Amino acid sequence: MRRFEYHEPKSLDEASELLGTLGEGAFILAGGTDLFVEIRERLREVKHLINIKRISDLSAIEYSETSGLRFGALVTAGELEAEPSVIRYYPNLRRALAELASIQVRNRATVIGNICRASPSADTIPPLIADGASIETFRPEGGRTIPLAEFFAGPGRTVLEQGEIAIAIIIPPPQQGSGRSYIKHGRRKAMELATVGVAVSLDAKDNICTGARIALGAVGPVVLRAHKAEEILIGSSFDQNTVERVAEQAMQECTPISNVRSSAEYRRSMVGVLTRRAIELAREEPA
Amino acid sequence: MTKRVLEMTVNGEERSLAVASYRSLLDVLREEGGLTGTKKGCDVGDCGACTVIMDGKPVNACLVLAVEAQGAEITTVEGLQSSPDDLHPLQEAMMEHGASQCGFCTPGILIMAKCLLDRNPHPTDEEIRFGLSGNICRCTGYTKIFDAIRTAGKRMAAASTGDGTKAPDFSKAEA
Ligand code: FES
Ligand code: FES
């Protein structure tokens, strides 16, 4: 591995100060599963590594019926995958976690690291955006809570400021009659980046859609919300005709590119197919 | 660059090694630690050849900094055997089934298979596939590896319950 200086701050204040004073070339180490690859493949020039694993209170997972799920920056994908409240209430997130890389990687990779890397094809982002999650940050002058849908500024870029550290994710509790799903499309199941990922979260009352959030992964510079498609769905009874129109609209709203994994046209067609399937799946198991 | 003293337990033995903080756990186990059973296939987390157990969980040693293993308990493929003449049931079964050809993937597969069988002695093919999805083998086509894991699972369950028929069902356990 290429050389870098290594730091082990004991508090968020200390970590944030290090980030500020060391400037460019200083990066936070949480899981390391992406960062070490980027260092080896020379995709990122790392001069200082700031390991936040010795900071206490970043490893908690808490669920309550009133405030939902909150998990800290050091929670690994494997821990969250095995968390009873995730299995029970957030099957969409669970699916995304179980399809992330491999068991070995999931035992190290943190979910917040996966999010902060801001890849448009990150598996965990679409279900979290569809569920209305927000991210909590630390700043010396006071942290903030940012809706995850507003957290990304472009591929690999977030709205985090210099010295600001993402410390937790909060997902609201599921409403009665809500349903959620995530479908990842790739050529194989494991060790694969999504060609397209679609997450859908629905609220319904008396079989009428009262709320819908559709998040599309790997078909734009950031994970997108298909707002117009959602509007078509809200107020409908999930009839086939409406669902077809929603899927059609989601295809219009995405902005895919062609790359080694697939062409833009293919991605756009798959958005249609998967949006339809994800709505059906979310309707199958309402909470 | 300053070195740090790293203290960890490897295969039940306490080790204290001076390491530079940019070195991976994989490099340190193989070089400073002298344990070359763990292999380096890709060095970027894709192949699973470097899999070791760290505090009870399988991880890619190439994606862990050695200094992060401070205080950790590590099991490498060398730690599967209780003594040099005593093979682990998985090692026996891999030999019997010819499940190792060039052998480069074998240490990682053995570690992953042990983690799987410890939780779930009678895995289905789907569960074996899921358990090994982070381990690449370029030689065997996996079939013989699956056969070996099933055989070892049966023997391990038989050894722990006496007859092998009443092994607890962990098939619903988490990965
Ligand atoms: S060497 Fe670590 S996964 Fe390939
Ligand atoms: S035996 Fe050669 S890679 Fe598996």
pLDDT in tens, chain A (287 residues): 678 999 999 999 999 999 999 988 999 999 999 999 999 988 889 999 999 999 988 999 999 999 999 999 999 999 999 999 999 999 999 999 998 889 999 999 999 999 999 888 889 999 999 999 999 999 999 999 999 999 999 999 999 999 999 999 999 999 888 999 999 887 776 667 778 899 999 999 999 999 999 999 988 889 999 999 999 999 999 999 999 999 999 989 988 888 877 888 889 989 999 999 999 999 986 65
What pLDDT is recorded for position B168? 46
Residue boundaries of the structural domains of chain A: 5-51, 61-171, 179-284
> Residue type at A71?
F
User: Ligand 1 within 6 A of B60 CB?
Assistant: yes
Work out the end-to-end distance of chain A between its first and last CA atoms, rounded to an integer number of angstroms.
47
Return the percentage of chain B with pLDDT > 70, whole number: 91
Fold of A5-51: 3.30.43
Homologous superfamily of domain range A179-284: CO dehydrogenase flavoprotein, C-terminal domain (3.30.390.50)
* pTM attached to this predicted model: 0.90
Residue boundaries of the structural domains of chain B: 3-79, 89-161
What pLDDT is recorded for position B174? 43
Is 3.30.465.10 the CATH classification of the domain at A61-171?
yes
Strands A68-72 and A61-64: antiparallel
Q: What is the ipTM of this complex?
A: 0.89
Q: pLDDT tens digits for A246-272?
A: 999 998 998 888 887 788 888 998 999
* CATH number for the domain running over B89-161: 1.10.150.120
Residue B127 Cα to ligand 2 midpoint, Å, equals 20
> Residue B140: is it exposed, middle or buried by C-beta count within 10 angstroms (0-12/13-18/19+)?
buried
User: Ligand 1 within 6 A of B40 CB?
Assistant: yes
Cβ-based contacts under 8 A for chains A and B? 93
Position B172 confidence tier, pLDDT thresholds 50, 70, 90:
very low
Nearest CA residue ID for atom 4, ligand 2 = B137
Q: Are A104 and B67 an interchain contact pair (Cβ–Cβ within 8 Å)?
A: no
Q: A233: which residues sit within 8 A by CB, 6+ positions away?
A: A202, A209, A212, A214, A242, A243, A246, A279
Helix (H/G/I), strand (E/B), else coil: A17: helix
Q: pLDDT tens digits for B84-140?
A: 889 999 999 999 999 999 999 999 999 999 999 999 999 999 999 999 999 999 999
Homologous superfamily of domain range B3-79: Beta-grasp domain (3.10.20.30)
Asked if residue B56 has pLDDT above 50, the reply is yes
Q: Which of B102, B132, B144 is the best mutation target for the ligand 2 pocket, counting ligand atoms within 8 Å of the beta carbon and taking the most?
A: B102
d(CA A211, CA A208): 9
Tokens of A15: 């970590």
From the list A215, A268, A273, the residue with the least C-alpha distance to A244 is A273
**What's the Rg (C-alpha) of chain A?**
19
**CB contacts, 8 Å: A190 with chain B:** 130, 133-134
User: Strand order in A134-138's β-sheet?
Assistant: A61-64, A68-72, A165-171, A134-138, A145-147
- Determine which of B2, B28, B30, B59 to mutate to test the interface with A (most A C-beta atoms within 10 Å): B59
Tokens of A138: 């630390």
Decide if B90 touches A, using CB distance below 8 A: no
d(CA A198, CA A218): 9
- Determine which of A29, A94, A103 to mutate to test the interface with B (most B C-beta atoms within 10 Å): A103
What pLDDT is recorded for position B162? 61
Position B169 confidence tier, pLDDT thresholds 50, 70, 90:
very low
